[in-house]
Chains A and B, each alone.
Chain A
Amino acid sequence: MSKNTETPAAGGAVAGDLKLVNVTKRFGDFAAVKDLTLTIPQGSFFALLGASGCGKTTTLRMVSGLEEPTAGRVLLGDHDVTRLRPYKRPVNTVFQNYALFPHLTIAENIAFGLKRRGVKDVKKPVQDMLDLIELSHIGARKPNQLSGGQQQRVALGRALINRPQVLLLDEPLGALDLKLRRQMQIELKRIQTEVGLTFVHVTHDQEEAMTMADTIAVMNLGRIEQLGSPTDLYENPRTTFVANFLGQSNLWPGKASGTVGEHLRVRLEDGTGVLIPSARNNASGDEVIVGVRPEKMSIHASADEVPDGRNMLTGGVVTDTSFVGVSTQYVVKVAVCDELGVFVQNDGARIFRPGSDVVVSWDPSQGFGLDGKQDIDAGAEADLEAGS
Chain B
Amino acid sequence: MSAPALADEAAEALADGTTVAELRADKRVRRRRATLPYVLLAPGIIWLVVFFIVPMWSIVSTSVETGDMDTGFVLSWRWANFGDVWSQWHQQIIRSLEYSLMCTVFCLILALPLAYFIAFKAGRWKNLLMALVVAPFFTSYLIRTLAWKTILADDGWVVHAMNTLHITPLLSGMGWTYSDNSVLQTPFSVVCGMVYNFLPFTVLPIYTAMEKIDPRLHEAGQDLYASAWATFRKVTFPLALPGIVGGTLLTFIPAVGDYTNAVMLGGPKTKVIGTVIEQQMIGTGGNIPYGAALSVLLMVGTLVITLAYIKRAGTEEIV
Contact = CB atoms under 8 A, between A and B. Distances in A.
Interface stretch (B96-104, B189-197, B216-224): B216-224
Given A99-B214, A103-B238, A103-B239, A86 B222 contact: yes
Given A66-B219, A99-B214, A99-B217, A85 B224 contact: no
A209 B226 CA distance: 31
Given A99-B214, A99-B217, A87 B239 contact: no
Interface string A110-125: 0011001100000000
A116 B235 contact: no
Interface centre among B222, B223, B234 (most CB of A within 10 A): B223
A162 B220 contact: no
Interface in B200-247: 214, 216-217, 219-227, 230, 234-235, 238-239
Contact of B219 (A99, A113, A162): A99
Contacts of B235: 101, 103
Contact of A95 (B216, B227, B239): B216
A355 to B, nearest CB: 46
A258 interface: no
A126 to B, nearest CB: 13
* Majority secondary structure of chain B interface residues (helix, strand, loop or mixed): helix
Contacts of B220: 93, 95, 99-101
Interface of B: 214, 216-217, 219-227, 230, 234-235, 238-239
Contacts, number: 62
Contacts of A236: none
A102 B239 contact: yes
17 contacts: A66-B219, A85-B227, A86-B222, A87-B222, A87-B223, A93-B220, A97-B216, A99-B214, A99-B217, A99-B220, A102-B217, A103-B238, A103-B239, A112-B226, A116-B226, A117-B225, A162-B224
A10 interface: yes
A158 interface: yes
Given A103-B238, A103-B239, A162 B225 contact: yes
A158 B216 contact: no
Most A CB within 10 A of own CB, among B225, B227, B238, B239: B225
A92 B230 CA distance: 17
A113 B227 CA distance: 11
A91 B224 CA distance: 9
A387 B240 CA distance: 40
A64 interface: yes
B212 to A, nearest CB: 10
A86 B224 CA distance: 8
B227 A87 contact: yes
A87 B238 CA distance: 20
Contacts of B234: 112, 116
A179 B100 CA distance: 60
Contacts of B216: 95, 97, 99
Contacts of B223: 64, 66, 86-87, 91-93, 95, 159
Contacts of A85: 222, 227
Given A101-B235, A102-B239, A113 B222 contact: no
